[in-house]
């Protein structure tokens, strides 16, 4: 494949990096006063990337025509599907971030630039078909994330979150690289296709160690139990728009990357890694559900909720079938809508004094003081709990269906039991909002962009979302087919 064909396949990535550099220059010359405009420009760029990526997803791009740079990078439908979710989540974050940081007078023009580079890193992650591409994408995304986590310089919690994320992220990268070196040593290649060929049939013990370490490193990035310890602290400490970002876009990228590594590179050894994924999945569901019960901070609660949801997504991965991969993608799409919606609702909980409240106790009686916001938040919570008329149920349903079809009935059964435990704390928030006496808090109205985003995500997770099932399912099936082409 010649260079020009490769370059045309990475058009969204080129657009992201060039516009990131240009916006960085604009940020340098125009200063922090222009940060709102730079954020809007970055949103427009993400929309352009969306338009550039969409044809590959709708057309179900796969195979040799999607390979770029001699097997380092692939722009297939699977990567495209993940990229669309990443753009959407990052765009939402860019809309809600400027008002938040401006309150603290800490909005800087570099924020949208860092988000763009993080998105570039995530694009590289989901398109990686080589261990080196995987690592470079992961580091680009992680480095931007560390800076974003500690962006609120005057807040100690934000600095703490950034430092914790950095130290633990570096540890995870080390574990991942150790696994990568073992896999390379025992298979003699870093390309996923080559590893796939080398692992077919008998597998050396060292390669098994390599697979385990690689999956452990990736489990850290998707915050699956037992590598989830950092999540509540980082999610609580990071500025809320950044937490929204962490809970949505990088999670999509890391899960898509894990799916590609597990199903493509380690595909022939599915029996070897399945038990790891099954354990991580069940442990995430249980720890996510039980850990959230005692939380009084809503950001911490949503952090445990994201751990819990990762558990359900991993059930789809454990199935190791095209249907399971497709179910994962459907679940991810719904999860992104729910997460962005919930965090936007949390961001809108501004008191008259201008501070953002994060305590669940302050939500009491919200149905009487801010009925519409309470309704939206209640819909999000019911959807996260997977209560049937809402769209969140559909994601859980397809995942469990895939697990049952792959003869993983006990896993599906335990997952359903776990989702019942999880429902408790989601519904607890609804109870606090609707049945408790109103707290003495004077609320300030949210901005237009917040209301628009909340309306979109609430509409998407409401029963109206079922209108999307056929369309979403067919796109996810195409994406999963692209992933399983090599098998």
Partner 1 sequence: MIQTIAFYLFAFLVIVSGVFTIASRNPVHSVLWLILAFFNGAGLMVLVGAEFIAMLLVIVYVGAVAVLFLFVVMMLDIDFAELRAGFMKNFPLGIAIALVLFAELFLGVGAYQVGGLALGTPDGTAATAPGVSNIAAIGALLYGRYLFLFETAGIILLVAMIGAIVLTHRERKDTKPQNVAKQNARRPQDATVNMRPEVGKGVEL
Q: How far apart are CA 333 and CA 479, in angstroms?
A: 13
**For residues 81 and 186, which CB has a smaller minimum distance to partner 1 in the complex?**
186
Contact map string, positions 159 to 198, toward partner 1, x by CB under 8 A: ---x---------------------xxxxxx-x--x---x
The CA distances from residue 234 to 53, 167, 239, 386, 466, in Å, are 31, 12, 9, 26, 34
Please list every residue from 195 through 224 that binds partner 1, using CB under 8 A. Answer: 198, 204, 206
Contact (CB, 8 A) for 241 and 100: yes
Q: How many CB atoms lie within 10 A of CB 7?
A: 13
Q: Are strands 67-68 and 350-351 parallel, antiparallel or unpaired?
A: unpaired
**For residues 3 and 442, which CB has a smaller minimum distance to partner 1 in the complex?**
3
**For residues 128 and 349, which CB has a smaller minimum distance to partner 1 in the complex?**
128
Contact (CB, 8 A) for 188 and 194: yes
> 3-class DSSP state for residue 356?
strand
Residues contacting residue 436 through CB under 8 Å, at least 6 positions apart:
364, 365
**For residues 14 and 456, which CB has a smaller minimum distance to partner 1 in the complex?**
14
**For residues 188 and 388, which CB has a smaller minimum distance to partner 1 in the complex?**
188
Closest approach of Cβ 10 to partner 1, in Å?
7
Closest approach of Cβ 120 to partner 1, in Å?
7
**For residues 146 and 245, which CB has a smaller minimum distance to partner 1 in the complex?**
146
**For residues 137 and 288, which CB has a smaller minimum distance to partner 1 in the complex?**
137
Structure tokens at 221: 């990035």
Q: How many CA atoms lie within 13 A of 50 on its CB side?
A: 14
444 lies in the binding site for partner 1 (CB under 8 A): no
Closest approach of Cβ 265 to partner 1, in Å?
13
| Cα–Cα–Cα angle for 309, 313, 318, rounded to 5 degrees | 140
Closest approach of Cβ 180 to partner 1, in Å?
13
Omega of the bond leading into 74 within 30 degrees of 0 (cis): no
Closest approach of Cβ 17 to partner 1, in Å?
6
Closest approach of Cβ 149 to partner 1, in Å?
10
Closest approach of Cβ 144 to partner 1, in Å?
5
Please list every residue from 21 through 60 that binds partner 1, using CB under 8 A. Answer: 21, 24
Phi-psi region at 118: left, alpha or beta (left = phi > 0; alpha = psi -120 to 50): alpha
Please list every residue from 101 through 160 that binds partner 1, using CB under 8 A. Answer: 108, 110, 113-114, 117, 120, 124, 132-133, 136-137, 139-140, 143-144, 146-147, 150-151, 153
**For residues 92 and 138, which CB has a smaller minimum distance to partner 1 in the complex?**
138
Q: How many CB atoms lie within 10 A of CB 467?
A: 10
How many residues lie near partner 1 (CB under 8 A)?
44
Residues contacting residue 37 through CB under 8 Å, at least 6 positions apart:
30
Q: How far apart are CA 58 and CA 41, in angstroms?
A: 26
The CA distances from residue 374 to 105, 340, 388, in Å, are 29, 16, 20
Binding site for partner 1 (CB under 8 A): 3, 6, 10, 17, 20-21, 24, 68-70, 72-73, 108, 110, 113-114, 117, 120, 124, 132-133, 136-137, 139-140, 143-144, 146-147, 150-151, 153, 162, 184-189, 191, 194, 198, 204, 206
């Amino acid at each position: 494949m010649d260079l020009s064909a490769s370059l045309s396949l990475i058009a969204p990535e080129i657009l992201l990096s060039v516009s990131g550099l240009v916006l960085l220059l604009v940020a340098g010359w125009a200063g922090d006063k222009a940060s709102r405009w730079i954020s809007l420009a970055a949103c427009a760029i993400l929309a352009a990337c969306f338009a550039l990526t969409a044809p590959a997803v709708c057309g179900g791009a796969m195979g040799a025509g999607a390979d770029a740079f001699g097997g380092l990078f692939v722009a297939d439908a699977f990567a495209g599907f993940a990229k669309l979710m990443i753009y959407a989540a990052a765009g939402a974050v860019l809309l809600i971030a400027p008002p938040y940081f401006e309150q603290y007078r800490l909005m800087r023009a570099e924020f949208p630039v860092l988000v763009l580079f993080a998105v570039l890193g995530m694009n590289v992650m989901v398109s990686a078909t080589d261990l080196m591409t995987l690592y470079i994408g992961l580091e680009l995304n992680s480095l931007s994330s560390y800076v974003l986590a500690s962006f609120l310089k005057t807040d100690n919690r934000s600095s703490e979150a950034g430092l914790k994320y950095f130290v633990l992220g570096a540890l995870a990268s080390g574990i991942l690289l150790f696994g990568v070196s073992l896999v390379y040593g025992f298979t003699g290649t870093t390309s996923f296709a080559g590893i796939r060929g080398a692992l077919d049939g008998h597998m050396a013990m060292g390669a098994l160690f390599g697979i385990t370490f690689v999956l452990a490193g990736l489990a850290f990035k998707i915050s699956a139990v037992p590598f989830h310890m950092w999540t509540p602290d980082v999610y609580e400490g990071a500025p809320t728009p950044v937490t929204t970002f962490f809970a949505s876009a990088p999670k999509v990228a890391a899960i898509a990357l894990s799916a590609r590594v597990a199903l493509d590179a380690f595909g022939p050894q599915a029996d070897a890694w399945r038990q790891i994924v099954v354990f991580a999945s069940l442990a995430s569901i249980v720890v996510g559900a039980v850990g959230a019960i005692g939380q009084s901070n809503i950001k911490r609660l949503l952090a445990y909720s994201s751990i819990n949801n990762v558990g359900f997504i991993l059930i789809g991965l454990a199935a190791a079938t095209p249907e399971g991969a497709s179910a994962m993608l459907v679940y991810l799409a719904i999860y992104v809508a729910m997460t962005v919606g919930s965090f936007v609702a949390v961001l809108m909980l501004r008191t008259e004094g201008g501070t953002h409240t994060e305590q669940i106790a302050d939500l009491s009686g919200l149905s009487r003081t801010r009925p519409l916001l309470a309704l939206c938040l209640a819909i999000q919570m019911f959807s996260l709990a997977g209560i049937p008329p809402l769209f969140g149920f559909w994601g859980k349903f397809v995942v469990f269906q895939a697990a049952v079809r792959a003869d993983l009935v006990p896993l599906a059964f335990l997952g359903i039991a776990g989702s019942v435990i999880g429902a408790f704390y989601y519904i607890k928030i609804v109870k606090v909002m609707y049945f408790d006496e109103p707290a003495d808090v004077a609320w300030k109205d949210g901005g237009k962009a917040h209301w628009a985003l909340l309306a979109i995500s609430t509409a998407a997770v409401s029963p109206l979302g079922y209108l999307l099932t056929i369309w979403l399912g067919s796109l996810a099936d195409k994406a999963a087919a692209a992933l399983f082409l090599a098998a």
